[in-house]
Structure 1
Amino acid sequence: MAERKILLASHSYLAKGLKESAEFFLGKQESMQAICAYLDSSDDYLKEIQSFIDTAKEGEAIILTDIIGGSVNQQVVTMVENSRKRIPIISSMNLPIVLAVALSTGLMNNQLATKLCQDCEPKVVCMNEFNVRDKEGDLDEFFE
């Protein structure tokens, strides 16, 4: 199986930041591409998305977007549907899901994408309101 192709697409620089953060942990990711939309009035990012889709092979590619139902997500969904390729699309991307996708093996299909999403289900916590000291002051136990 060829190396998995991963596309991160977002408004502004989120995709670039997530790629750089993933590379901090994983090293250089040649097969990961970041597309930052709406940086100027150009729609060149749409050509980059289309190029990714055109060269993507089913089972070897996945696309992650920032905001579910946002303009970038809508454009990606429409372009993938028009291509008639079965390329999984994950929205509301964050660093845990980007790392999980990059480290996953096997055929990239909707079943694997769904499992990765479940494994990386986000938990947003306001740490100021979360009393970690309730565990008798043992922060190591909290972070396990």
Structure 2
Amino acid sequence: MSQFIIATHSYLADGYKNSINFFNGATNNVHFINAYVDDQKNFVEELNGLLEKLKTDQIVILTDMPGGSVNKEAVNLIKDYDCKVISGINLSLVLELIMNPDDKLSDEAIRLTVNEARKQIIYVNDLLKEEDLE
């Protein structure tokens, strides 16, 4: 079974958790880390601990910002845990991935899902102008 870790700056991961629960109900294969919000918690240690716990399954780490500190730490762990890292996530992408019925996601399935999610980002004003022209 695929395990998903949503790791974000601040409390964005909690927002994803609430939205996922709204659309899909609670899921036991999705884990959330709000990075850098608690001085008592070390994000890297928390991520390492979760990866260690889940290492027998396929692990997909979803981060908020490419090039951000959360993503950089996740990328540093790819080889150690043979995990997949996707950055710049949006809710459409997250829901599509976690609702995938396959036990494991192939690289091709991930690529297709990422490409479809890119199409979800739309500047609606331009879309309305195109409709007006038609």
TM over 0.5: yes
Please state how far the C-alpha of 1:126 moved relative to its aligned partner: 3.3
Is residue 92–residue 120 contact of structure 2 (8 Å, CA) maintained in 1? Answer: no
- Partner of residue 111 from structure 2, selected from 114, 119, 141: 114
Q: Could you say if the C-alpha distance between residues 10 and 16 of structure 1 is closer, same or farther in structure 2, counting changes exceeding 3 Å?
A: same
- Equivalences, count: 132
Matches within 5 A, 1:70-81: 70-81=68-79
- Partner of residue 60 from structure 2, selected from 41, 59, 62: 62
Is residue 10–residue 72 contact of structure 1 (8 Å, CA) maintained in 2? Answer: yes
Q: Could you say if the C-alpha distance between residues 57 and 135 of structure 1 is closer, same or farther in structure 2, counting changes exceeding 3 Å?
A: farther
TM-score (norm 1): 0.78
- Measure, in 2, the Cα distance between the counterparts of 1:116 and 1:59: 20
1:134 equivalenced with 2:132 (yes/no) = yes
- Measure, in 1, the Cα distance between the counterparts of 2:126 and 2:39: 42
- Measure, in 2, the Cα distance between the counterparts of 1:21 and 1:135: 36
Read off the aligned partner of 1:116 and give its amino acid letter: T
Question: Share of identical aligned residues, percent?
Answer: 28
1:98 equivalenced with 2:94 (yes/no) = yes
Q: Which has the higher strand share?
A: 2
Q: Which has the higher helix share?
A: 2
Read off the aligned partner of 1:134 and give its amino acid letter: D
The answer for the alignment partner of 1:31 in structure 2 is 29
Q: Could you say if the C-alpha distance between residues 58 and 97 of structure 1 is closer, same or farther in structure 2, counting changes exceeding 3 Å?
A: farther
- Measure, in 2, the Cα distance between the counterparts of 1:112 and 1:130: 28
The answer for the alignment partner of 2:6 in structure 1 is 8
Q: Which runs of 5+ in 1 are unaligned?
A: 137-144
Report the aligned-residue RMSD.
2.2
Larger-Rg structure: 1
